[in-house]
Amino acid sequence: MLGGAERLIVDAAVELSSKGHNVHVFTSHHDKTRCFEETVSGIFPVTVYGAFLPRHIFYRLHAVCAYLRCIFVALFVLFLYPSFDIILVDQVSVVIPLMKLKNLSKVVFYCHFPDLLLAQHTTILRRIYRKPIDFLEEMTTGMADLILVNSKFTASTFAKTFKQLSSRGVRPSVLYPAVNVDQFDEPSATKLTFLSINRFERKKHIELAISAFAMLYNSQQEFLRGDKREELSLVIAGGFDKRLRENVEYLEELKCLVEREGVSDRVQFITSCSTPERNTLLSQCLCLLYAPKDEHFGIVPIEAMAAHKPVVACNSGGPVESIKNGVTGYLCEPTPQDFSAAMSNFLRDPQLSKAMGMEARQHVVELFSTKTFGHHLNAYVVDSALRRKKE
């Protein structure tokens, strides 16, 4: 999948390479026809081990399969490669003990969100299944030399979730994800288009954006007449993997919702658009709709603001830290009514999108650019490397 977690690792590799570090990325899957451009540009090598391993077994045991794939990669790194000064582990902490065996290599773990909170514990069987996995997650996470998280929200969740680590004084440091602001052109919005970008997963609550748009469309009949009403549309774009049953099912659910809401001729679905296509969509929209509730951080709002676009998002999680309410967008209750009310502001004031977009762009340049991210990450890496040498 091409999501925010994968984007962060690519940004980390690019920035560390630009600062003179030798970077090597290891992964269990890399589709050169569907990947971030930097991973095939030769900036740093990308080595794949275990691409043949399954992602699930009859649509079950996803966590176990993920652990096995990562352990498979880690074993190859452990036995086939010399020692590294720093090993940056992403998402799956179970490989940290193996990486600690690489001749005093320092291990930095980037925790996007505790996995045990993302997994379902709804039945007795699932709780039994998750018990050892959840235990391993906390135990192995605590073995990292440095833990980074993507937001203050995730840091507080980390402390509440991993109580044993908190009792030992383990505190993660916040390193916000970033976006390359130079990739975005000046906005060229010519139509009344709202945009939603997210992976087609139920936790992204894309149905909120659809219901809010339908409410807006039906409530603006008197305000928008003729051509203006025909221009009003919603584009839903995002990562889509036909191998994942949830992606396939959820897309069909959203299409059915569009039919029920009576806006099927106003909504367009775009699956797995490329980076240039995404940038074009951002350039042409009025604003971005970001529907996930309690999102750990959310890179999409940062990308939208970097593209001079305001964001309408839920008043919880990471967006509270990245969006300046009333300045670079609106933070709303996760209801169609609240989202629709915020969206209507852009229809009533034709200059609002542009004005907020300018503020949004400056906000991202100052706090969430890849240069800022690279500067902070490099400081963490250099500090960890120096501590390794002292030992």
Question: Does residue 352 share a domain with residue 223?
Answer: yes
185 and 159 in a common domain: no
pLDDT band with cut points at 50, 70 and 90 for residue 82: confident
Task: Clarify whether residues 232 and 318 are in a common domain.
Answer: yes
Shared-domain flag, residues 210 and 333:
yes
Residues 359 and 381 in one domain: no
What DSSP assignment string belongs to 129-192? HHHHHHHHHHHHHTT-SEEEES-HHHHHHHHHH-HHHHHTT--PEE----B-GGGPPPP---S-
Helix (H, G, I), strand (E, B) or coil at 249: helix
Helix or strand holding residue 66 (H, E) = helix 62-80
Alpha carbons 234 and 288: distance in angstroms, whole number: 10
| Long-range contacts of 224-232, Cβ-Cβ distance < 8 Å, separation of 24 or more | 224/192, 224/347, 228/192, 231/191, 231/192, 231/193, 232/192, 232/193, 232/266, 232/347
Q: How confident is residue 225, by pLDDT bands cut at 50, 70 and 90?
A: low
Overall domain count for the chain? 2
Same-domain status, 9 and 79: yes
Question: Which CATH number goes with the domain that contains 25?
Answer: 3.40.50.2000
Q: Are residues 111 and 207 in the same domain?
A: no
pLDDT by residue (tens digit) across 124-148?
988 888 888 889 999 999 999 999 9
User: Are residues 18 and 162 both part of a single domain?
Assistant: yes
Cα distance from N-terminal residue to C-terminal residue, the chain:
38
pLDDT exceeds 60 at position 47: yes
Do 107 and 202 fall within a single domain? no
Regarding whether 313 and 332 lie in a shared domain, the answer is yes
Q: For residue 316, what pLDDT is reported?
A: 94
Phi-psi region of 32 (alpha: psi -120 to 50; beta: other; left: phi over 0): alpha
Residue 98: other Cβ atoms inside 10 A: 19
> Does 363 share its domain with 378?
no
* Per-residue pLDDT tens digits for 163-222: 999 999 999 999 999 998 998 877 876 678 999 999 899 999 999 999 999 999 988 755
Task: State which residues form the domain around 299.
Answer: 181-367
Q: Are residues 193 and 167 in the same domain?
A: no
User: What's the pLDDT tens digit per position in 312-369?
Assistant: 999 999 999 999 999 999 999 999 999 999 999 999 888 999 999 999 999 999 999 9
